[in-house]
């Protein structure tokens, strides 16, 4: 597996490629994704559309990628519009199960469609280059080491035969200066718990297979010039115990690299990546996300959301893939991890940062979705780990990027002794074992269970020893159950200033029992707010138990002229509560200015552990229509103007928490002021907008206003769709006659060095399967997961320029 192996690999690639390669890129082609029902073969659809079937999308059953030459863009757009319109129609006439009318043209089995686009949407949560602000460390020279601790570390290293040259610099593993500020992991190693048999996938910019520190624990992928970030993250998790650099937290565990950050990719590539080899990869370490600029509010698309649900439901043979995400580095730009659809997903474990002196680093974002913190840069030091190069180390790894992989390493240790833990057990273990820090900084709320939660620290810092001891005897939790409230209608202007607009909903014991929910885990709130400046808004949620989640905070850079559109916020702060009683959300517009808005409606979902494990179904895959609702169907929520505590945006420093509520008894919202709007649950108060929906000369069919609306909208859609499809097939027919199939990019050959280079990256980059094969001389063997292989290439549309 050295140089000759790699050469052979490249040759192998180019040979294999001559048969399957086509350099279809976004420059020459459009790509689209379809979800097909079981009875609709993708080949048939491809034939019908004159498109090329590019293959199944990762592990998503029934989801396929297709391509068409760029010259047919407008026809493709027409087609996709038509498919959408027709599904809308069927949903209305026959419900979600698609029992509506069929057109019978062979496309009735298309359940979902989306045009794909290739872009570089995600950023690393650390500048990968040495000029990064997280790497600019002015080392503190005057740290005083504790003699007894130094002796204890020496003894541990000797017992464990650790001779790695920078082990003594790895304060995050054993801190001899700030005692207790480390992962507390050496006791586990002494018990022989080192991560054997567990594989962590680093979803990043690739990693360096030539590093002598990673090679022993590594599923090979060729190295690329910008793969420093992934390499450093890998080193933290699984750097080998040898004479190179330091050791990883789980130094006998394995790592694999899934490369997504080096070039533009589309949602299908990303979906495939996070399900890649998902029976083998146990943990997916993700130190990236949408830009942390304090103005981006971005969530993964439906395809990626589905892949995540697919991962937790089917990965690891049904135990569930464990996704760990870095919380984000945007705190100094007022960013908050609830504006990021990856970190605020219930399927991910969000890890923030704490520095070696126990302080909250200025970059580290806070939010109600943050579960724990782990060590990273700050107070004049950073994480010391492996770097790109055969024997190269790095002492400036930082940002929340560096914190996430430490939590991954700890979970790898736990899984090595308890491979049966589910994705939710992993979350419980982090939460139950986390150690609260800086408990008097005013950021902590105490729950009835005695457990404490802080938006800055989550449930506390990760302690490897405590977590793994707990894992040893951990009783697996019952399946996940959930309760969705109805949509709750507010439709009221948001006052400016310190007063907020409060809206409440009562959840009864019966409702939760009926939903099979025993106790809470995550709580999500989806909401619609219209506002002319999003950054002015802040949102808090109060549980029946009086625990407050700050779901969103004000953001100075966020000038977006819209409020929250079907955005789902998440909180882990209510974990363990019963959920029974009144839930209140309070939205505020604390910037008194010309920008104002209206709180339209909201929906709350309580996720938790099932009462009865039997008969609890899995949650359906997310759908683009999950939040569809007519405002008339929303029940009118109890709404009032409330004073109440405010967390707008305070920089995340412990000293900034003085005016934060600490275990404060909740301000009685109703008492705070007079009720401003309606109280009650009537649902027919405001139908005037619909009275005038139809011009009077049109027949009403004696149906209700809403039904009339559906009927007319449906008719329009049918007409549009039929026209569109007609045009499309007409054009297709002409194309097929005109085009010689040989010209259709089926077998474009590699022209030169540059193409070969691009090819290598292409195969390596996006969960490509083929390189596993060519590297199979590795003694660990390649992944054996061949179940869903379909020989597809993972096209990423990247342009080799500038690399
Ligand atoms: C909503 O309206 C319908 C029909 O007007 C009525 O039967 C139902 O009880 C109402 N629901 C509520 C919650 O008031
Ligand atoms: C760290 O682990 C040891 C066992 O090795 C345990 O006794 C100790 O309490 C832990 N230290 C802290 C600070 O939690
Ligand atoms: C916002 O302000 C404008 C101008 O002062 C006013 O006309 C409008 O009614 C306000 N809208 C809301 C929702 O408060």
| Closest ligand 1 atom number to CA of residue 635 | 13
Mutate to test the pocket of ligand 3, among 493, 529, 589, 596 (most ligand atoms within 8 A of CB): 596
> How many Å lie between the centroid of ligand 2 and the Cα of residue 188?
10
Q: Is 635 in the pocket of ligand 1 (CB under 6 A)?
A: yes
Residue of minimum CA distance from atom 3 in ligand 1? 683
Section 97-109 average pLDDT: 70
Higher pLDDT, 633 or 387: 387
Highest mean pLDDT of the ranges 96-105, 366-375, 793-802: 366-375
pLDDT at 209: 64
> How many Å lie between the centroid of ligand 2 and the Cα of residue 465?
6
Query: Is pLDDT above 90 for 211?
Result: no
Q: Is 180 in the pocket of ligand 2 (CB under 6 A)?
A: yes
Ligand showing the shortest atom-to-Cα distance for residue 636: 1
Residue of minimum CA distance from atom 6 in ligand 3? 596
Q: Report CA-CA distances (Å) from 4 to 10, 457, 470, 757.
A: 10, 48, 46, 17
> How many Å lie between the centroid of ligand 1 and the Cα of residue 693?
22
Out of 58-67, 184-193, 215-224, least confident range: 215-224
Q: What percent of the chain has pLDDT above 90?
A: 60
pLDDT at 625: 85
Task: Give every CB contact of residue 233 below 8 A, 6+ residues apart in sequence.
Answer: 202, 204, 207, 285, 287, 385, 397, 401, 402, 404, 405
> How many Å lie between the centroid of ligand 1 and the Cα of residue 633?
10
Radius of gyration of the chain measured on its C-alpha atoms: 27
Q: What is the pLDDT of residues 192-210, one digit of tens each?
A: 999 999 999 998 887 776 6
| Closest ligand 3 atom number to CA of residue 532 | 1
pLDDT at 426: 98
Mutate to test the pocket of ligand 1, among 633, 684, 686 (most ligand atoms within 8 A of CB): 684
Residue of minimum CA distance from atom 1 in ligand 3? 596
> How many Å lie between the centroid of ligand 1 and the Cα of residue 635?
9
Q: Is 465 in the pocket of ligand 2 (CB under 6 A)?
A: yes
Instruction: Name the pLDDT band for 735 (thresholds 50, 70, 90).
Output: low
DSSP codes, 579-633 = --EEEEEEEEE-S-SS--EEEEEEEEEEEEEES-STT-PPPPPP-TTTT---GGG
> How many Å lie between the centroid of ligand 2 and the Cα of residue 463?
9
Q: What is the pLDDT of residues 253-267, one digit of tens each?
A: 999 888 888 778 899
Instruction: Name the pLDDT band for 217 (thresholds 50, 70, 90).
Output: confident
Q: Report CA-CA distances (Å) from 594 to 495, 586, 691.
A: 12, 21, 32
Q: Is 596 in the pocket of ligand 3 (CB under 6 A)?
A: yes
Q: How many CB atoms lie within 10 A of CB 190?
A: 13
What is the rounded distance in angstroms from the CA atom of residue 543 to the CA atom of residue 526? 16
DSSP codes, 49-83 = HT-EEEEE-TT-TTEEEEEEEGGGHHHHHHHHHHH
166-477 and 480-616+623-648+656-678, same CATH topology? no
| Closest ligand 1 atom number to CA of residue 683 | 1
Phi, psi of 541, rounded to the nearest 5 degrees: -130, 135
Out of 383-387, 542-546, 610-614, 665-669, least confident range: 665-669
> How many Å lie between the centroid of ligand 2 and the Cα of residue 466?
7
Q: Is 726 in the pocket of ligand 2 (CB under 6 A)?
A: no
Q: Is 493 in the pocket of ligand 3 (CB under 6 A)?
A: yes
What is the rounded distance in angstroms from the CA atom of residue 238 to the CA atom of residue 248? 4
Residue of minimum CA distance from atom 10 in ligand 2? 184
Section 120-129 average pLDDT: 67
> How many Å lie between the centroid of ligand 1 and the Cα of residue 600?
20
Out of 78-87, 571-580, 758-767, least confident range: 758-767
| Closest ligand 2 atom number to CA of residue 187 | 5
Q: What is the pLDDT of residues 138-174, one digit of tens each?
A: 677 789 999 999 999 999 999 999 999 999 999 999 9
Section 374-399 average pLDDT: 91
Q: What is the pLDDT of residues 316-333, one digit of tens each?
A: 999 999 999 999 999 999
Out of 22-31, 202-211, 550-559, 643-652, least confident range: 643-652
Ligand showing the shortest atom-to-Cα distance for residue 436: 2
Token duo for residue 508: 């009864």
| Closest ligand 3 atom number to CA of residue 530 | 13
Cα distance from N-terminal residue to C-terminal residue, the chain: 26
Out of 90-104, 226-240, 629-643, least confident range: 90-104
What is the rounded distance in angstroms from the CA atom of residue 60 to the CA atom of residue 42? 14
Out of 72-76, 105-109, 740-744, least confident range: 740-744
Q: Is 532 in the pocket of ligand 3 (CB under 6 A)?
A: no
> How many Å lie between the centroid of ligand 1 and the Cα of residue 682?
6
pLDDT at 722: 65
Ligand showing the shortest atom-to-Cα distance for residue 182: 2
Q: How many CB atoms lie within 10 A of CB 395?
A: 18
Q: Is 683 in the pocket of ligand 1 (CB under 6 A)?
A: yes
Q: What percent of the chain has pLDDT above 70?
A: 74
Query: Is pLDDT above 90 for 95?
Result: no
| Closest ligand 3 atom number to CA of residue 597 | 13
Query: Is pLDDT above 60 for 424?
Result: yes
| Closest ligand 1 atom number to CA of residue 682 | 14
> How many Å lie between the centroid of ligand 2 and the Cα of residue 615?
41
Ligand showing the shortest atom-to-Cα distance for residue 464: 2
Section 547-555 average pLDDT: 96
Query: Is pLDDT above 60 for 314?
Result: yes
Section 75-104 average pLDDT: 76
Q: 3-state secondary structure string, 734-762? A: HHHHHCCHHHCCCCCCCCCHHHHHHHHHH
pLDDT at 265: 86
Section 565-583 average pLDDT: 97
Higher pLDDT, 690 or 519: 519
Residue with tokens 């150690």: 435
Nearest to 31 by CA among 57, 10, 13: 57
Q: Is 391 in the pocket of ligand 1 (CB under 6 A)?
A: no
* 8 Å CB contact between 603 and 526: yes
Instruction: Name the pLDDT band for 727 (thresholds 50, 70, 90).
Output: low
Higher pLDDT, 752 or 182: 182
pLDDT at 649: 55
* 8 Å CB contact between 244 and 781: no
Higher pLDDT, 682 or 185: 185
Q: Is 788 in the pocket of ligand 3 (CB under 6 A)?
A: no
Ligand showing the shortest atom-to-Cα distance for residue 704: 1
Query: Which residues are 527's β-sheet partners?
Result: 567, 602
pLDDT at 664: 33
Instruction: Name the pLDDT band for 230 (thresholds 50, 70, 90).
Output: confident
With residue 507 as reference, give the H or E element that holds it.
Answer: strand 500-507
Q: Is 187 in the pocket of ligand 2 (CB under 6 A)?
A: yes
pLDDT at 707: 61
Out of 87-91, 242-246, 747-751, least confident range: 747-751
Catalytic residues: 204, 229, 401
Ligand showing the shortest atom-to-Cα distance for residue 531: 3
Query: Is pLDDT above 90 for 9?
Result: no
In terms of Cβ atoms closer than 10 Å to its own Cβ (0-12, 13-18, 19+), residue 133 is middle
> How many Å lie between the centroid of ligand 3 and the Cα of residue 206?
51
Query: Is pLDDT above 50 for 676?
Result: no
> How many Å lie between the centroid of ligand 3 and the Cα of residue 596?
6
Q: What is the pLDDT of residues 738-748, one digit of tens each?
A: 444 333 222 22
> How does DSSP classify residue 656?
G
Nearest to 283 by CA among 124, 192, 461, 404: 404
Q: Is 362 in the pocket of ligand 1 (CB under 6 A)?
A: no
**Architecture (CATH level 2) of domain 480-616+623-648+656-678:** Sandwich (2.60)
Section 443-455 average pLDDT: 96
What is the rounded distance in angstroms from the CA atom of residue 796 to the CA atom of residue 788? 20
pLDDT at 534: 96
Q: Is 651 in the pocket of ligand 2 (CB under 6 A)?
A: no
pLDDT at 566: 95
Mutate to test the pocket of ligand 2, among 146, 149, 187, 375 (most ligand atoms within 8 A of CB): 187
Query: Is pLDDT above 70 for 449?
Result: yes
Q: State the chain's mean pLDDT as an integer.
A: 79
Q: For the chain, what are the domain ranges?
A: 5-116, 166-477, 480-616+623-648+656-678, 707-753
Residue of minimum CA distance from atom 6 in ligand 2? 465
Pairing outcome for strands 254-259 and 218-219? parallel
Query: Is pLDDT above 80 for 132?
Result: no
* 8 Å CB contact between 479 and 610: yes
Q: Is 684 in the pocket of ligand 1 (CB under 6 A)?
A: yes
Nearest to 86 by CA among 728, 627, 566: 728
CATH number 3.40.190.150 given to 166-477: no
* 8 Å CB contact between 795 and 24: yes
pLDDT at 335: 92
Ligand showing the shortest atom-to-Cα distance for residue 358: 2
């Amino acid at each position: 597996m050295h140089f000759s192996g790699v050469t052979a690999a490249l040759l192998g690639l180019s040979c294999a490629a001559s048969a399957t390669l086509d350099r279809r890129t976004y420059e020459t082609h459009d790509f689209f994704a379809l979800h097909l029902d079981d009875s609709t073969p993708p080949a048939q659809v491809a034939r019908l559309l004159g498109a090329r079937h590019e293959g199944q999308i990762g592990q998503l059953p029934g989801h396929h990628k297709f391509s068409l030459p760029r010259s047919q863009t407008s026809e493709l757009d027409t087609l996709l519009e038509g498919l959408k319109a027709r599904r809308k129609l069927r949903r209305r006439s026959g419900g979600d199960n698609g029992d509506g009318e069929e057109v019978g043209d062979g496309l009735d089995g298309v359940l979902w469609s989306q045009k794909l686009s290739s872009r570089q949407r995600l950023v690393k949560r650390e500048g990968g280059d040495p000029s990064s602000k997280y790497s600019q460390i002015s080392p503190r020279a005057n740290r005083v080491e504790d003699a007894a601790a130094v002796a204890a570390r020496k003894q541990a290293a000797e017992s464990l035969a650790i001779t790695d040259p920078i082990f003594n610099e790895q304060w995050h593993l054993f801190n001899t200066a700030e005692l207790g500020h480390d992962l507390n992991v050496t006791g586990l190693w002494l018990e022989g718990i080192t991560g054997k048999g567990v594989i962590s996938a680093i979803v990043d910019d690739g990693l360096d297979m030539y590093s002598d520190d990673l090679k022993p624990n590594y599923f090979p992928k060729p190295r690329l010039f910008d793969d420093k970030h992934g390499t450093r993250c890998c080193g933290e998790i699984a750097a080998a115990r040898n004479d190179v650099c330091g050791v990883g937290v789980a130094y006998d565990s394995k790592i694999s690299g899934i490369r997504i950050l080096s070039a533009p990719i589309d949602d299908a590539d990303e979906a495939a990546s996070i399900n890649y080899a998902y029976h083998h990869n146990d943990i997916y370490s993700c130190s990236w996300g949408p830009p942390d600029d304090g103005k981006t509010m971005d969530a993964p698309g439906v395809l990626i959301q589905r892949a995540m649900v697919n991962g937790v439901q089917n990965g690891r043979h049904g135990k569930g893939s464990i996704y760990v995400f870095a919380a984000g580095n945007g705190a100094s730009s007022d960013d908050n991890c609830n504006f990021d659809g990856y970190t605020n997903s219930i399927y991910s474990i969000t890890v923030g940062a704490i520095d070696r002196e126990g302080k909250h680093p200025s970059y580290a974002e806070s939010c109600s979705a943050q579960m724990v913190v782990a060590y990273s840069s700050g107070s004049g030091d950073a994480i010391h780990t492996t770097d790109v190069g055969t024997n190269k180390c790095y002492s400036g790894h930082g940002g929340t990027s560096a914190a996430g992989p430490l939590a991954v390493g700890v979970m790898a240790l736990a899984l090595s002794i308890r491979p049966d833990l589910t994705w939710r057990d992993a979350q419980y273990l982090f939460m139950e074992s986390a150690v609260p820090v800086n408990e008097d900084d005013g950021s902590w709320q105490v729950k009835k269970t005695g457990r404490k939660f802080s938006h800055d620290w989550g449930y506390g810092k990760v302690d490897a020893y405590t977590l793994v001891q707990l894992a040893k005897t951990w009783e697996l939790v019952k399946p996940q159950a959930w309760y969705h409230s109805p949509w709750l209608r507010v439709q009221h202007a948001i006052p400016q200033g310190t007063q907020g607009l409060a809206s409440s909903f009562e959840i009864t014991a019966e409702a939760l029992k009926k939903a099979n929910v025993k106790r809470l885990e995550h709580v999500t709130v989806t909401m619609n707010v219209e506002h002319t400046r999003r950054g002015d808004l802040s949102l808090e949620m109060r549980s029946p138990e009086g625990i407050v989640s700050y779901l969103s905070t004000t953001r100075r850079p966020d000038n977006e002229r819209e409020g929250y559109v079907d955005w789902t916020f998440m909180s882990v702060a209510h974990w363990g509560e019963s959920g029974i009683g009144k839930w209140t959300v309070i939205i505020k517009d604390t910037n008194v200015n010309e920008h104002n808005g209206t709180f339209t409606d909201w929906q709350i979902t309580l996720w938790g552990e099932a009462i009865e494990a039997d008969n609890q179904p899995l949650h359906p895959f997310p759908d683009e229509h999950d939040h569809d609702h007519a405002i008339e169907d929303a029940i009118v929520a109890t709404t009032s103007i409330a004073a109440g505590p405010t967390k707008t945006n305070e920089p995340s420093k412990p000293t900034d928490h003085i005016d934060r509520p600490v275990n404060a008894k909740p301000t009685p919202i109703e008492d705070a002021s007079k009720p401003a709007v309606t109280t009650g649950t009537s649902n027919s108060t405001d139908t005037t907008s619909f009275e005038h929906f139809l011009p009077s000369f049109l027949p009403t069919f004696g149906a209700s206003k809403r039904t009339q609306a559906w009927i007319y909208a449906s008719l329009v859609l049918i007409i549009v769709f039929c026209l569109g499809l007609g045009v499309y097939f007409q054009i297709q027919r002409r194309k097929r006659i005109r085009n010689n199939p040989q010209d259709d990019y089926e077998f474009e050959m590699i022209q030169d060095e540059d193409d070969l280079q691009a090819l290598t990256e292409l195969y390596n980059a996006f969960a490509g399967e083929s390189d596993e094969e060519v590297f199979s001389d590795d003694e660990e063997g390649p992944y054996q997961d061949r179940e869903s292989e379909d020989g597809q290439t993972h096209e990423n549309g990247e342009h080799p320029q500038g690399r």
